[in-house]
Amino acid sequence: MTLPSEMNALLLVGDGYSRNPTGSVLEAMEPYVTPGRIGVPTPTGRQLLIKVSLASINPSDVMFVKGQYGQPRAKGQPAGFEGVGIVVATGDDPMAKWFAGKRIAFATGVSNWGSWAEYAIAEAGACIPLIDEVRDEDAAAMIVNPLTAIAMFGIVKEEGEKAFVMTAGASQLSKLIIGLARDEGYRPIVTVRRDDQAPALLEAGAAHVLNHTAADFADRLKVVMQAEKPRVFLDAQTGPVASQLFFAMPRGARWIIYGRLDMAQTVIPEPGQLIFAGKKIEGFWLVEWMRQGKERREAAVMDAQKRFADGRWHTDVTAVVPLAEAMARVPAELAKPNGKVFIKP
Amino acid sequence: MTLPSEMNALLLVGDGYSRNPTGSVLEAMEPYVTPGRIGVPTPTGRQLLIKVSLASINPSDVMFVKGQYGQPRAKGQPAGFEGVGIVVATGDDPMAKWFAGKRIAFATGVSNWGSWAEYAIAEAGACIPLIDEVRDEDAAAMIVNPLTAIAMFGIVKEEGEKAFVMTAGASQLSKLIIGLARDEGYRPIVTVRRDDQAPALLEAGAAHVLNHTAADFADRLKVVMQAEKPRVFLDAQTGPVASQLFFAMPRGARWIIYGRLDMAQTVIPEPGQLIFAGKKIEGFWLVEWMRQGKERREAAVMDAQKRFADGRWHTDVTAVVPLAEAMARVPAELAKPNGKVFIKP
C-alpha cells in the first residue's frame, strides 16, 4: 500500500494554553481549528500510523482545541484525541508490528498527530484491536468516555453508598455510567435541562432525573437527597446548579469536578459544611487516572470493548460529518442534545 | 468546702443552630449570651466540677454562641469551651477522684456546662493537671488552640513540603503553628491585614508575611508562591483573599478551611485547577480530629503543656475581663488584634 505524502486535517490554530477560558461550548470552529494540508507522519518505535475511518468529538477535544485542557496545544498540528481506523504503517517495535493491517480503536494521547485527519499517530499501548461485532461508531468512542465512566464509577463504588449524583445526565458519558450503575445495583441521581430527556434515562437505569431548570427543582432535590443520601457528586457542569446540588447533599459529600459546562462563577455554597460536615471538593482527570496504573487501565479497556460488543453499552449518534464539511457543521451538531458527533475523514 | 447552690454565668440565648450565619465577628454579646443565675451542677461518673479561674474566648466559642459551630446550642446553659480552674467536686469514678483539689486546664466539650461561669463541668479525660510553671493565661488556652495547631501542623508534615500558607497570620493559633514550624524547619507563608503585624511574625519564624490589603499583594504573592511552592493552605478566612491565595498556589495544593472570618462569597477561582492541577478543597474540625484517635490527642496535650511550661509557646493577652463586665466589654476587646481575651469569673 502506497501512502500519500500529504493529507487533509483540521489543524490547531492556538498554541499552548488559552489565557481567557470560555467554557466547554464550541461556538465556532474557526477560532480553534483550520482545515489544511500537512505531511503524513512516519511512525517510529511503538507508534502506529492509522488511516482514520471515524474520529470522535469529545468534550475533552473541545476543551483541548480551546486551550483549556491541561495539556498545551502545538499550533499547526492535527486535533482530535480518539478514533477508529486501520493500521497502515508501524514503527519497528514488535508490539507495534503486531498491529499491522488491523482495525483498531485508538487514542492519540499527546502525540499531537490527532484523529481529525486522514491519518493519525497513536502508541500501540493506547490502541485496541477490534472484533467485527463492534460498530465503527462505538469503536471511535471506545476509549475516552468508557475509561472515564469506569474510573469515575470506581470512585462511587469505593465510597460505598449506592446513590450518587451526576450533572449533564443525558451526556454519552453519563449514559455509560448509568449503564454500569444499573448492572451493579447503584442508584444514579442525574440532572438534565429538559423534561423530555428524563424517560430514556429512567429507562436506562437512573433512579431519579431532576430538571434543573424546573420551578420545583429545589424541592425535588431536597426530597431526593434526604431519601437517597448520596455521597459522590460527579460534576461536568460547575456554576450555580452544581453549588446547589452540593449544598443539598448530606454529610461527607464529595464534589468531583471533571468538566465545566457552565462558565458562571462556582461558589462554595457554605464553607462551614467543609468544616463541620466533612464535605470535600476535588477534580477528576482521565490522564492522571491513566498515569496511576497500567493494569486497571487495561482491565477497563477490555471491559469497555465487551460492553459495546454485547450491546450493554451503545453510542447514540447525532451526526457523522465528512471532514470537508466539519468547519461549517460541527458546532451546530454538537449543540444538539443526547448524542455523539463524529468526523469522517 | 461548701459549694453554693447557684452561680453567675453567661447563658446561651439561642437554641440549636442559626439559620442565617453571620460570620465569626462577635458584633455584640446580647443576641447570643445573657448574664444570669443558674444552679451549680453536680458531677457524676468521670465528670469534674471546676471552680473557674479564667475562661478562654476562642473563635470556636464565638461561632458556637452564634449557632454556627456544627454542634447545637442548649438554650439557657452556660457558654464557653475552655478554661483553667480548681477541681472542687468529682463524680465517683476513680479517674475523676484522682483530680480532686488539683489545678487543671479543661475543655467542657458538649457538656453544655461551659466555662463562662463560676463553675463548669468537664470530663476527666478532657482535663490536664497543671505544673506550677504554667501561667493561668496559658493554661486557660491550653487545649483548643494548641490541639488545633498540632493537628493542622501534622497535616503539613504529612504532605511533605516545607512551605505552607496560613491566613489570619497574627491569630494566636497561627502563632502557635509558626512556633511549631520554626522548631522543625518549616516555612510558614502567612497573610495579615496590617503591615505592623509583620515584624513580630517574622521574628517568631514566619518565612513570609504578606499584607493582603496592600497594593502589591498580588505581585508579592506570585513571587512567593513560585519560590516556595507550598502545598497546604490552612485557611481561617475564606472569601476573595482565600480564593486568590488558592489560585496562586502550585499543582496539588490543598485548601483546608477551618474558619470563616470573611462572610463574602467564597468562589472556586478556577475549577479547571481541580481537574488538571490536582487541587483540592476540604475542611478541618478539631472535634472530628479528636474523635479519630485518643492516643495522638493525648500525645498532643502533653506536648502542648511542655511547650507552654518551657516558654516555646506563650499566650499574648489582650484583656482579662471580669465576668460582671463581660457583656459590655468583650466585643470591643475581641476586635483588637494580636492577643487573646479571657473572662475572669
**pLDDT for B137-164, tens place per residue?**
999 998 889 999 999 999 999 998 999 9
Question: What is the pLDDT averaged over residues B169-178?
Answer: 94
- Counting every residue written for chain B, the total comes to 345
| pLDDT score, position A19 | 83
User: Is the model's pLDDT at A117 over the cut of 90?
Assistant: yes
**CA A217, CA A126: separation in Å to the nearest integer?**
42
| Interchain contact, B281 vs A282, CB within 8 Å | yes
Among A271, A284, A288, select the one facing B257 at the smallest CB separation: A271
- DSSP β-ladder status, A232-235 and A163-166: parallel
Percentage of chain B with pLDDT > 70? 99
Provide CB contacts within 8 A for B182, sequence distance 6+: B204, B205
User: What is the DSSP secondary-structure string of A163-201?
Assistant: EEEESSTTSHHHHHHHHHHHHTT-EEEEEESSGGGHHHH
Which of B73, B233, B260, B274 to probe the A interface (max A CBs under 10 A)? B274
Region of residue B229 (phi > 0: left; psi between -120 and 50: alpha; otherwise: beta): left
pLDDT at B40: 97
- d(C-alpha B331, C-alpha B28), whole Å: 6
* Widest distance between CA atoms in chain A: 67
Which residue stretches of A59-143 are H helix?
59-65, 94-97, 136-139
pLDDT band at A1; cut points 50, 70, 90: low
pLDDT at B202: 97
* Of B333 and B131, the one with more pLDDT: B333
Q: Say what the pLDDT of residue A133 is.
A: 83
φ, ψ of residue A102 in degrees (nearest 5): -80, 155
Contact assignment for B257 to A276 by CB distance below 8 Å:
no
DSSP annotation of A17? -
Which residue type, as a one-letter code, is found at position A332?
A
Q: Confidence band (pLDDT; 50, 70, 90) for A235?
A: very high
Alpha-carbon gap: A153 to the closest alpha carbon of chain B (Å)? 17
State whether the Cα torsion A171-A177-A180-A184 is positive or negative.
negative
The reply to whether A283 touches chain B by the CB within 8 Å rule is yes
The residue type of B200 is A
Predicted confidence (pLDDT) per residue in B25-84, tens digit:
899 999 999 999 999 999 999 999 999 999 999 988 999 999 988 788 999 999 999 999
Q: Residue A203 is which amino acid?
A: E
The predicted model gives B89-94 an average pLDDT of 96
Higher pLDDT among residues B136 and B20, named by residue: B136
Length of chain A: 345
Q: Is the pLDDT confidence value at B1 over 70?
A: no
Is the ipTM here above 0.85?
yes
To the nearest whole angstrom, how far is the Cα of A161 from the nearest Cα of chain B? 20
The answer to whether B70 contacts A277, with C-beta atoms less than 8 Å apart, is yes
Chain B environment of A70 (Cβ under 8 Å): 272, 275-277
Contact of B274 with chain A, judged by CB distance below 8 Å, is answered with yes
Task: Give the residue from chain A lying closest to B63, CA to CA.
Answer: A272
Tell whether B273 is within 8 A of chain A (Cβ). yes
All three cell numbers of B71, joined, read 454542634
A275 vs B267: CB contact, 8 Å cut-off? no
CA B12 from centroid of its chain's CA atoms: 19
Which of A127, A129, A124 is CA-nearest to residue A45? A124
Q: Count, in order, helices (H) and strands (E) of chain A.
A: 12, 16
Q: Does A60 touch chain B (CB under 8 A)?
A: no
d(CA A9, CA A12): 10
What is the arithmetic mean of pLDDT over B103-118? 91
Does the pLDDT of residue A281 top 90, yes or no?
A: yes
Q: Chain B residue with minimal CA distance to A281?
A: B281
The whole-number pLDDT of residue B66 equals 94
In angstroms, the Cα distances linking A220 to A69, A162, A207, A245 are 34, 19, 13, 11
d(CA B250, CA B239): 19
The three cell numbers of residue B115 are: 466555662
What is the number of other CB atoms lying within 10 angstroms of the CB of residue A338?
A: 16
User: What is the maximum span of chain B, computed from C-alpha positions, in angstroms?
Assistant: 67
- Which residues in chain A have their CB less than 8 angstroms from residue B285's CB? 275-276, 278
Say how far apart CA A97 and CA A91 lie, in whole Å: 7
Say what the pLDDT of residue B22 is: 81
Phi, psi of A166, rounded to the nearest 5 degrees: -135, 135
Structure pTM?
Answer: 0.90
- Interchain contact, A267 vs B271, CB within 8 Å: no
| Residue B114 φ/ψ, nearest 5 degrees | -80, 180
DSSP SS3 for B73: strand
- Does A254 touch chain B if contact means CB atoms closer than 8 Å? no
Helix axes A239-248, A217-228, angle to 10 degrees: 40
Say yes or no to pLDDT of A58 above 80: yes
β-strands A103-107, A82-90 pairing: antiparallel
Average pLDDT of A203-208?
97
In this predicted model, what pLDDT tens digit does every residue of B244-293 receive, in sequence order? 999 999 999 999 999 988 889 999 998 989 999 999 999 999 888 887 87
Closest residue to A258, CB basis, from B68, B275, B283: B275
Interface size A-B, in CB pairs within 8 Å, comes to 93
Q: Which three cell numbers stand for residue A6?
A: 500529504
Residues 190-249 of A with CB under 8 A from B: 238
Answer for the pair A129, A103: CB distance below 8 angstroms, yes or no.
Answer: yes
pLDDT band at B24 (very low <50, low <70, confident <90, very high): confident
Which of A122, A292, A269 has its CA nearest to residue B260?
Answer: A269
The answer to whether A39 contacts chain B (CB < 8 Å) is no
